[in-house]
Structure 1
Amino acid sequence: MAEPGRIAFCDFEKREEMTPDQVAEVFTKVAGTYDETWKARHYKDHVYVAEAVADFYPGDRASVQVLDVGAGTGMLAEELWGKGFRLIDGLDPSHGMKVEASKKGVYTNYYTEFMDGKRLDCFATDAYDCLVVAAAFNTGFIPCAALPEMTRLVKPDGLICFGIPDSRFTEVKDYVDRLAPLMELMEEQGVWELVDTKYCHDFYDNANPGNIFRYVVKASDIDAAKFIDRLGPVG
């Protein structure tokens, strides 16, 4: 019989019933085989995000301070490292993921914290030039409420880049009729500005289309509640 943790790793709906700590533990249990699992499924989200970030920084990348949210085992950071980025911090609530990521030597610091919308006091406002996310917009991971906190951590004119499969907008309860409107509201209110989106037809399993979003931060220190309170109810 398959372990409950592995079932929850593969079945997103199982995670709807879990607490954040339980979700983090699921990923600690599968950390040792995480890279192998996703490589077998032809995972490409991290590749596309890294390409989009590198395109935004055509010059000296070694001095760009990057925060990798939902860092996992460091698959995205490896891609960024290969493109010349050297100042990369990771953030992920799973201790097991941190252990695996530390073996790769691509992070300056790795914080075992949740990006759940609460203010992260371990980070100063405008701490980073760039914030990236790959494969973490999903059930039990990054909630809508986290977006304002993400912008707080990035300097004005800095970049936030992430990938989201199309299906997440209609299948993840927290995102349905909430995530896209929030992204648009934050642009309307001058928090960030959409640079572009890039359509990709194969985020994983040689299928699962979605988009890579690139936003430039315009106002980092904002009143997060002003935006979160405008969201409709989950579900």
Structure 2
Amino acid sequence: MASTRNDTFDNFDKRDGMTPGQVADVFTNAAGTYDKVWTIRNYKDHLYVAEGVADYFQEDRRASVKILDVAAGTGMLAEQLWKKGFRQLDGLDPSPGMMAEAMKKGVYTNYYLEFMDGHTITELDTDTYDCLVVAAGFNIGLLPSAALPEMVRLVKPGGVMCFGIPDARFTEVKEYINRLEPLMQWMEQDGAWQLLDKKHFEDFYDDANPGLVFRYIVRASDIDGKQYIEKLCHTH
């Protein structure tokens, strides 16, 4: 069974159709070797996101910036943020195994075992964070498009969201095709957030796999996530 789960971890397509709980189990079973696998594959998404956040916040302010790391996994992104002087880091991820590995690193204040799937996370108040980050969270069976409005709810107006998405996700992942980009644009048109910039990199992992790092300034204190979910339901 373990070999099947490891294969599912490596072969993204095999996660299509899995329940969220099954996907979380896949990552729990891979947690012990997760960092080693992605180090060998020269994973860089988390490095680029950390750079984007550090570029936004002045060094003397970083220790007081409250950050939520969504799809936090084993804390690879949080480690990079810690190295850059950020100290108030919370993680959010549905996998107990990933949480166990992450908490060994001593970089998170809190770690929430939650799916970021569009539902309101009642444990977290509106406008809690100055910044929200995601690295390697946009993929088959992971963050759905509908997660974006809930992410915005958690960030204070004037705060920043920084996340990386490989180019191929927009055209190859069914959940995102003609959904993710339109949603990002609808939210900007409605004043939920404003694109600060997007930077393109050629090598998110495996010394290939180009992708974009987006930085958005949050403008709304709270938004009606249900309206966007309804819109998305009409795009398939």
Instruction: State whether TM-score is above 0.5.
Output: yes
Would you say the 8 A contact 1:174–1:234 is kept in 2? Answer: no
1:30 aligned to 2:37? no
Q: Deviations over 1:166-217 (max 9, x none)?
A: 0000111110000000001100110000000011000000000011000000
CA separation in 1, counterparts of 2:88 and 2:71? 17
CA separation in 1, counterparts of 2:124 and 2:235? 28
CA separation in 2, counterparts of 1:207 and 1:2? 28
Q: Partner amino acid for 2:31?
A: A
Q: Partner amino acid for 2:39?
A: K
Instruction: Please give the root-mean-square deviation of Cα atoms over the aligned residues, in Å.
Output: 1.2
Tell me what 2:80 maps to. 79
1:12 Cα deviation (Å)? 1.1
> Which has the higher mean CA deviation after the structures are superposed, 27-36 or 54-63?
54-63
1:11 Cα deviation (Å)? 1.0
Residue 216 of structure 1: SS of its match in structure 2? strand
Would you say the 8 A contact 1:159–1:217 is kept in 2? Answer: yes
> Which has the higher mean CA deviation after the structures are superposed, 209-218 or 8-17?
8-17
> Which has the higher mean CA deviation after the structures are superposed, 94-103 or 3-12?
3-12
> Which has the higher mean CA deviation after the structures are superposed, 73-82 or 9-18?
9-18
CA separation in 2, counterparts of 1:170 and 1:212? 17
**Kindly, what percent of the aligned residue pairs are identical?**
63
Q: Partner amino acid for 1:204?
A: Y
1:234 Cα deviation (Å)? 6.6
CA separation in 2, counterparts of 1:154 and 1:164? 20
CA separation in 2, counterparts of 1:208 and 1:220? 35
Q: Partner amino acid for 2:88?
A: L
1:27 Cα deviation (Å)? 0.3
CA separation in 2, counterparts of 1:20 and 1:151? 22
1:142 Cα deviation (Å)? 0.4
1:182 aligned to 2:183? yes
Tell me what 1:8 maps to. 8
Tell me what 2:56 maps to. 56
Q: Deviations over 1:213-234 (max 9, x none)?
A: 0000000311111112112557
Q: Partner amino acid for 2:222?
A: D
Q: Deviations over 1:119-152 (max 9, x none)?
A: 0000000010000000000011100010000000
Would you say the 8 A contact 1:73–1:98 is kept in 2? Answer: yes
Q: Deviations over 1:2-48 (max 9, x none)?
A: 71111110111111121000000000001000000000000000000
CA separation in 1, counterparts of 2:201 and 2:64? 29
1:202 aligned to 2:203? yes
1:59-138 equivalences under 5 Å are: 59=59, 60-138=61-139
1:35-50 equivalences under 5 Å are: 35-50=35-50
CA separation in 2, counterparts of 1:187 and 1:107? 31
TM-score, length of structure 2 as denominator length: 0.97
1:171 aligned to 2:165? no
Residue 16 of structure 2: SS of its match in structure 1? helix
Please list every run of at least 4 consecutive aligned residues from structure 1 whose deviation after the TM superposition is greater than 6 angstroms: none
